[in-house]
Amino acid sequence: MGYNFNIHPEIEKAETLPGSFYKNDQIFSDLKDKVFLKTWQFAGDVNDIKLQNQIKPLSVLENYLNEPMILTRDSKDKIHCVSNVCTHRGNIIVNDGGPAKNLTCKYHGRKFEL
């Protein structure tokens, strides 16, 4: 990313980014790879998994990054967000949300804890 967008720390002196920042396909592509993939993103509301042993598949920044993830609440009421891709063959583990005691790859049956 060879861009230099500076925002003055004093809000009274700060200016908005140029319009090209919002319309340039290369800038957007660079931001996806070098910013969005390496920073925290909103994954979902805890109310989507209110019950223990509940899962919800999701895609981080769908149509932009398409990173398949699973939001889970385990039997100890702890929330996790993990990859929805099996480490063995790259298969998607979960297609539908709902109750689950573990995550099972449909390709070869490998099981993962919530």
The CA distance from 70 to 68, in Å, is 7
**Are the beta carbons of 30 and 77 closer than 8 angstroms?**
no
Q: How confident is the model at residue 93 (pLDDT cuts 50, 70, 90)?
A: very high
Can you name the residues that pair with 100 across neighbouring β-strands? none
The predicted structure's pLDDT at residue 2: 65
Above 70 in pLDDT, residue 1?
no
CATH superfamily ID and name for 46-113: Rieske [2Fe-2S] iron-sulphur domain (2.102.10.10)
Above 70 in pLDDT, residue 34?
yes
pTM for this structure? 0.70
C-alpha closest to that of 55 among 63, 43, 66, 64: 43
Encode pLDDT of 11-32 as tens digits. 898 888 888 888 999 998 888 8
Tokens of 52: 């223990």
* Across 47-67, average pLDDT: 86
